[in-house]
Amino acid sequence: MKIAVISDTHFGVFWGSERESDSFEQGKEALFKAIELGADAILLPGDVFDSKVPKPEVMAKAMSIFLKVHEFHAKKNTGKNNGITVNGIPSQAIPIIAIHGTHEMRHKEFTNPIQSMESAGLLTHLHMKPLVLSKQSEDENTSDSVGIFGFGGVPDKYAKQFLDSGIVKNPEADFNIFVFHQTLRELIPTGQDMDVLSTSDLPSGFDFYIDGHIHWRHEIELYSKKLLLIPGSTVLTQMKPNEAVVHIRTDPKNGKVTEKHNDSTARKVFFMLDTLKAKQDIHLGLKPMDIRSQRDLYYIDLSFDSAEIETITDECDKWVRKALESKPENQRKKPLVRLRVSGSTENGEKSSDLDLNHMIGKFSDQAIFSASKQLSAKSLKEKLEVLRQSHKEKLSVNELGLQILEECLEKRNYPQNQKPRELFELLVEGEISGILDE
């Protein structure tokens, strides 16, 4: 059986900006290409949407894409019986199976966007339960079955608790997949103490593991030659160095600027999984497929020591021009440039004297920029380092709000049966009556 794995499409990200169509174009390309390649089913490991309550315009565009995918599959397979059953029930449409991600995660009393898509008949939402796909051969003498257990996104600190509860059941098909959407300890920066899953926490007995959530592709070898695949996102959202086709940076050892052209693993892909081949060798059964509509990313990370503002400006200008000399894979779209400037200025010169927006404005017709600076006068560096250390954890607004609520409830000796996350969700949704009932 051939299964397309398309993760973290983030439909709706950058809505209202020059990049608002990127997520839709790239997600649509992956879905349609999966059909062209003969996929028997499509698996979406979470964060199909960028928001747990997408704008109506975003929902409409996403629903239109999935409708067209089903129409394209039906047209391509006119007069054919695809021979696929889902939990024993024949399926004429291509099965699209999705778990919800952390961006779509909502309180159980509220409907998340993946559930809405399921209600519209566009996909199957798989959370905390197994599903079995079966396919008969053309002569109907043999069949191939694939079991999938879906574990949708949950708060990281509760993920291990759920896995240890015994809720995970191996579907016991010919080939079994565990798909989830969580942070992994092995892939967070060294020194960060976070209460997250480790690969050693994953349930045993599955043939293949897939984790969404992390936006750059990665493969981790597990026990007994089992493989954990992190497909990465289909769209650039965070602009990390390992997602860049060109990485220009100041070498901290010698202060020289180096230029590196990353290999194809930096590019966004989806994966085709051939389960028959994967039974023999998982690497033979797994193939990345390029998404050609993506933008190239050029990452420029420059550091300065007691430099004049004029020098910093000139160096930034020089290396931006150098990056833009690269020929983008997709010449229809402007490339992305992530410019980071850090270090210190000459005493007496202020960080505010460096106007990055004015400088990169000269290139606005050639690229889309994201720029940041962390510059200090030499005499202030130590003070700022103390502040940076005090902010080791970068929390989102929602995470910070939940943390504050949990601390307040604990100080007031609130009953243990009260669940802070549920109360917080009610507050976010404006459900005051629900809070009073609690």
118-129 pLDDT, tens digit each: 999 999 999 999
Q: 393 pLDDT exceeds 60?
A: no
Q: 386 pLDDT exceeds 50?
A: no
Q: 197 pLDDT exceeds 60?
A: yes
d(CA 45, CA 361) in angstroms, rounded, equals 38
Mean per-residue pLDDT, 375-384: 62
Same domain membership, residue 103 and residue 174: yes
60-76 pLDDT, tens digit each: 999 999 999 999 999 99
> Structurally, how many domains does the chain consist of?
3
Domain span holding position 411:
397-437
Is 62 a domain residue? yes
Q: 301 pLDDT exceeds 50?
A: yes
Q: Which residues contact 35 (CB under 8 A, 6 or more apart)?
A: 69, 72, 73, 76, 94
Q: Confidence band (pLDDT; 50, 70, 90) for 244?
A: very high
Cβ neighbours around 379 below 10 Å, total: 10
Q: Which of 82-96, 257-271, 281-295 has the highest mean pLDDT?
A: 281-295
Q: Enter the DSSP assignment of 335.
A: P
Same domain membership, residue 143 and residue 82: yes
Backbone angles phi, psi at 132, to 5 degrees: -120, 125
Q: Which of 140-149, 226-235, 245-254, 397-406 has the highest mean pLDDT?
A: 226-235
Same domain membership, residue 63 and residue 122: yes
209-235 pLDDT, tens digit each: 999 999 999 999 998 889 999 999 999
pLDDT on residue 92: 83
Q: Which of 196, 8, 201, 239 is nearest to 102 (CA)?
A: 8
Mean pLDDT of the chain: 89
Same domain membership, residue 370 and residue 421: no
Task: Report percent pLDDT > 70 for the chain.
Answer: 88
Q: What is the CA radius of gyration of the chain?
A: 24
pLDDT on residue 129: 94
Same domain membership, residue 165 and residue 55: yes
Using DSSP's 3-state secondary structure scheme, residue 83 falls into coil
Q: Enter the DSSP assignment of 111.
A: -
Q: 348 pLDDT exceeds 80?
A: no
Same domain membership, residue 373 and residue 277: no
Is 332 a domain residue? yes
pLDDT on residue 435: 55
pLDDT on residue 135: 92
Paired strand residues for 178: 149, 209
Using DSSP's 3-state secondary structure scheme, residue 48 falls into coil
Q: 142 pLDDT exceeds 70?
A: no
